[in-house]
């Protein structure tokens, strides 16, 4: 039997989906499982986007242009103008199969196997998977829960930079911590990127979801157009994760043209998703405001509730819809599994993601879990009860 590739062997399993079989088993036994483990918003997709599907009047569902349809790229450019990124035109945008493909294209185009990319940990676990796919070495700098997961010091970054460092990857607002980087932090990164001639790959898919006094600042506004590659997606913004429409945006023409070669090889992004995405952008201001208010209320309620549970600590996240919290347990992964296999309260339990998988140094996340507050308030309230009781029972075993 021929052998599996080394990169295939080294690919980490998704920490978000890893415990899924245990959840499936619990459900088979009739247990209700509340999912706080995955960033799958429960809010509806905008009605006008759903209507656009019913209005499709094509006879042949044909390939679209590799860079995506102009009708979508033009709408996206208009959206960027509205959020203050006035330099972005449709010719800077390549539509991808989700933000995932945009990340892969960026890695493939900017880095050679063996090159290094610096990211902040805890970080989105799939960055590590995509880096493994591209043969890129991830160098992680740890942000600390006691600092609210703020950007680590520039000294920490400079110490991590080697001649093989090619890029810094920043998720802002951050998944999994919900941290929103400040203007001062971004200015530091700008200087660093220029000093060492690095790419700044900025994942800003949670742009709309910032709850603090300061809005989230785009890397595209830092005045370093040759360095920045923006990764974006309509998934979370319009609650349409399943249509797989993301985008890569850059003013760097060489990067753009290189990404286009990867985009042409896979022929085209999903046609139907492009139609839905295009129908989601204009006229959804009220929808977006409603979603925003809903997430903000959930955050306020959920984080407060978390911190009221003895031994639990969560910083107040200012963005996205995640938080990384400390639990009073020795091994959070064991606790998460136990909740799925053993803990039941009136036939119910809950699923959260052990945070270790979001670290390159898994021991840093040993006591932590990531939770996505993508459930309605009553369900979040129930989850808080379940968590409190589960911790009590787990520690009393």
Within residues 197-226, the interface with a copy of itself by CB under 8 A covers: 197-199, 226
Question: Shortest gap between Cβ of 193 and a copy of itself (angstroms)?
Answer: 9
Q: Report the candidate in 310, 384, 309 with the shortest Cα–Cα distance to residue 352.
A: 384
CB of 114 to a copy of itself, least distance (A): 10
| Cα 117 to Cα 107: distance, rounded to the nearest angstrom | 9
| Nearest distance from C-beta of residue 77 to a copy of itself, angstroms | 20
- Other beta carbons less than 10 A from residue 195's beta carbon: 11
Considering the complex, state which of residue 153 and residue 264 has its C-beta at the smaller distance from a copy of itself: 264
Of residues 93-152, those binding a copy of itself (CB under 8 A): 97-98, 100-101, 104, 108-113, 115, 126, 129-130, 133, 135
- Interface with a copy of itself by CB under 8 A: which range of 151-159, 173-181, 234-242, 377-385? 234-242
**Cβ-Cβ contacts under 8 Å for 148 (sequence gap 6 or more):** 179, 315, 316
Q: Scanning residues 336 to 395, which ones bind a copy of itself (CB under 8 A)?
A: none
CB of 65 to a copy of itself, least distance (A): 9
Identified binder of a copy of itself from the candidate list 153, 254, 290, 361, rule CB under 8 A: 254
Positions in 7-66 near a copy of itself (CB under 8 A): 7-9, 11-14, 17, 38, 40-45, 49-50, 53-54, 56, 58-64, 66
371/176 Cα distance (integer angstroms): 8
Omega cis (within 30) before 176: yes
Query: Interface with a copy of itself includes 284 (CB under 8 A)?
Result: no
Please tell me the distance from the alpha carbon of residue 325 to that of residue 179, in angstroms, as a whole number: 13
| Minimum distance, C-beta of residue 7 to a copy of itself, in the bound complex (Å) | 6
Indicate the residue among 53 and 78 with the shorter CB distance to a copy of itself.
Answer: 53
Q: Which of 267, 293, 308, 361 forms a contact with a copy of itself (CB under 8 A)?
A: 267
Minimal distance, residue 311 CB to a copy of itself, in Å: 32
Helix (H, G, I), strand (E, B) or coil at 247: strand
Q: Is the peptide bond before 173 cis (omega within 30 degrees of 0)?
A: yes
SS3 at position 227: coil
Alpha-carbon distances, residue 9 vs 13, 14, 129 (angstroms): 10, 13, 11
Q: Name the residue nearer to a copy of itself (CB basis): 50 or 385.
A: 50
- Nearest by Cα to 78 from 292, 273, 236, 283: 283
Which one, 11 or 297, has the nearer CB to a copy of itself? 11
Least gap, CB of 200 to a copy of itself (angstroms): 9
How many chain residues bind a copy of itself (CB under 8 A)? 81
Nearer to a copy of itself, 92 or 115 (CB): 115
Strand order across the 199-203 sheet: 93-97, 245-250, 228-233, 199-203, 165-171, 116-121, 137-142
Give the range of 182-190, 253-261, 348-356, 359-367 binding a copy of itself by CB under 8 A.
253-261
Given the complex with a copy of itself, which of 130 and 179 has the nearer CB atom? 130
- When the beta carbons of 104 and 327 are compared against a copy of itself, the nearer one is 104
Q: Which of 265, 285, 346, 397 binds a copy of itself (CB under 8 A)?
A: 265
- Closest approach, Cβ 385 to a copy of itself, in A, equals 25
CA 257 to chain centre: 26
Question: Considering only residues 123, 173, 269, 315, which one is a binding residue for a copy of itself as defined by CB under 8 A?
Answer: 269
Beta pairing, strands 228-233 & 368-372: unpaired
- Footprint of a copy of itself on residues 162-191 (CB under 8 A)? 166-167
User: Given phi > 0 = left and psi -120 to 50 = alpha, else beta, which region is 45?
Assistant: beta
**Helix orientation angle between 377-395 and 285-307, rounded to the nearest 10 degrees:** 20
Do 324 and 314 meet the contact criterion of CB atoms below 8 Å apart?
yes
Of positions 262, 295, 335, 350, contacts a copy of itself by CB under 8 A:
262
């Amino acid at each position: 039997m021929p052998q599996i590739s080394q990169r295939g062997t080294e690919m980490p399993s998704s920490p978000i989906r890893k415990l899924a079989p245990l959840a499936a088993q619990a459900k088979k036994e009739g247990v209700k499982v509340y999912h706080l483990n995955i960033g799958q918003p429960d809010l509806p997709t905008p009605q006008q986007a759903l209507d656009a599907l019913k209005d499709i009047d094509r006879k042949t569902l044909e390939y679209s242009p590799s860079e995506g349809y102009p009708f979508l790229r033009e709408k996206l450019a208009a959206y960027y103008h509205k959020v203050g990124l006035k330099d972005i035109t449709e010719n800077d945008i390549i539509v991808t199969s989700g933000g995932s493909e945009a990340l892969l294209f960026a890695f493939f185009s900017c880095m050679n196997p063996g090159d290094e990319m610096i990211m902040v940990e805890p970080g989105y676990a799939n960055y590590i998977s995509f880096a493994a796919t591209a043969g890129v070495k991830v160098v992680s700098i740890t942000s600390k829960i006691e600092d609210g997961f703020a950007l680590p010091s520039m000294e920490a970054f400079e110490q991590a930079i080697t001649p093989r460092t090619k890029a810094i990857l920043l998720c802002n607002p951050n998944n999994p911590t919900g941290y929103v980087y400040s203007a001062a932090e971004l200015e530091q990164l700008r200087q660093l990127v220029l000093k060492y001639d690095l790419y700044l790959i900025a994942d800003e898919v949670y742009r709309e979801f910032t709850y603090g006094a300061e809005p989230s600042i785009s890397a595209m506004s830092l005045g370093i157009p040759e360095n920045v590659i923006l990764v974006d997606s309509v998934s979370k913004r319009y609650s349409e994760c399943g249509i797989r429409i993301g985008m890569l945006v850059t003013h760097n023409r060489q990067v753009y043209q290189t990404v286009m070669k990867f985009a042409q090889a896979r022929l085209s992004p999903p046609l139907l998703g492009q139609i839905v995405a295009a129908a989601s952008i204009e006229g959804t201001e009220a929808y977006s405001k409603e979603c925003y208010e809903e997430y903000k209320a959930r955050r306020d309620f959920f984080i407060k509730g978390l911190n009221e549970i003895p031994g639990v600590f969560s910083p107040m996240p200012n963005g996205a819809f995640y938080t990384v919290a400390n639990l009073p347990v020795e091994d959070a992964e064991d606790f998460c599994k136990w909740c799925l296999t053993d803990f039941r309260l009136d036939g119910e339990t809950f699923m959260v993601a052990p945070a270790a998988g979001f670290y390159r140094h898994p021991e840093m996340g040993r006591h932590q879990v990531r939770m996505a507050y993508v459930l309605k308030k009553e369900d979040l309230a129930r989850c808080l009860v379940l968590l409190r009781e589960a911790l009590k029972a787990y520690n009393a075993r």
